Amino acid sequence: MMAGVRIAMGAVALCLLSAAAAAEDSIPDSMQVYFGDTHLHTSYSFDAFLNNNHSADPDTAYRWAKGQPVIHPYNRARVQIETPLDFLVVSDHAEMLGVMRAFYENTAELVDLGWYGNLKRWYFIKKMNQAIEEDAGLQFFGRFLPKAKAVKGHADPAADPSNNIGDMNIFGDIAPISVNAWESIVASAERHNDPGTFTSLLGWEWSSIPTGANLHRIVITPDGADKATQFLPYGSDKSQYPEDLWQWLDDTQARTGARFLAIPHNSNISKGICLIPLVLEGCLSPPIMRAVEWLGSRL
């Protein structure tokens, strides 16, 4: 089966290269090449904040991309790029979006979890803030990293007994915190978008990583606040299965008219999952999956 999948994937790659070569001949002389970044985290991402980025927010990121001077969040040096970017996607993690920053700055609106739940949450936040103060955020971040899978072989990692992401429930409903962070990101993108000069694209990172198999996607929308304020970025805390992400994107597009592009991110460290599409449904997008199945049926 593995040999068949490798052959199928190679055939898909060959088809794509052939299509690219054919398309090259039809590229108009007016075609423009633009340079930017589709993967940038700010202080709204839990990993960036725990790693001492407490000040570089989306506004800072867009100013940096436009070639304006900003203050580096680690060494407080004044930094500036010589050549501004044409576009930037602030792609913070959808999971716990803005939560670590809100906890640290004591701006989070917390729901009542009962005396025991409130006590557990208070203790966890206290230890987290203490780790940040003692410059031990990186070690604290290790608590969020996935455990190795218990079942050997190419079994579904999301269904593995070691794949427990229930620890996030200790905070209660954090959606209102993430809504505030997302609205801030959207507002910043709206302020910095300068048609014809600089494009501030909205997006996020869907960060599924069951048992350490990186299935991350960068999701980008070309639309603005009128559509983006109608949804909250979909994270792997809702589902770790890519097909559920595809379904959410389809449903959200039908509901709001928003358009989306999902780009695999670091699938080279997916432990082979993204190269074995029958192990985890949806790891390949539906059109590519259909192409793999079509080619596989002819081997």
2 lies in some domain: no
13 lies in some domain: no
Q: Which residue range is the domain that position 156 belongs to?
A: 33-274
Report pLDDT for 8.
40
Residue 52 or residue 200, greater confidence:
200
297 lies in some domain: no
pLDDT digits (tens, 9 = 90+) for 116-174: 999 999 998 998 899 888 888 877 777 666 666 656 665 677 676 666 655 667 888 99
Chain position carrying tokens 């410059």: 135
Number of folded domains in the chain? 1
243 lies in some domain: yes
pLDDT digits (tens, 9 = 90+) for 160-193: 666 665 566 788 899 999 999 999 999 999 999 9
What does the alpha-carbon distance between residue 48 and residue 113 come to, in Å, rounded to a whole number? 27
What does the alpha-carbon distance between residue 284 and residue 277 come to, in Å, rounded to a whole number? 6
For residues 214 and 264, is the Cβ–Cβ distance under 8 A? no
Whole-model pTM over 0.85: no
pLDDT digits (tens, 9 = 90+) for 11-41: 444 454 454 455 555 666 778 899 999 999 9
What stretches of the chain adopt beta strand conformation (E)? 36-40, 70-71, 78-79, 87-90, 199-206, 217-221, 261-264
Residue 29 C-beta-side C-alpha neighbours within 13 Å? 0
Per-residue pLDDT at 94 exceeds 60 = yes
The pLDDT-based confidence of 284 (bands split at 50, 70, 90) is low
The pLDDT-based confidence of 299 (bands split at 50, 70, 90) is low
8 lies in some domain: no
117 lies in some domain: yes
Report pLDDT for 16.
45
Q: What is the mean pLDDT of residues 194-222?
A: 91
1 lies in some domain: no
* Side chain identity, residue 61: A
pLDDT digits (tens, 9 = 90+) for 40-61: 999 999 989 988 899 999 999 9
Question: 261-264 and 87-90: which strand pairing?
Answer: unpaired
10 lies in some domain: no
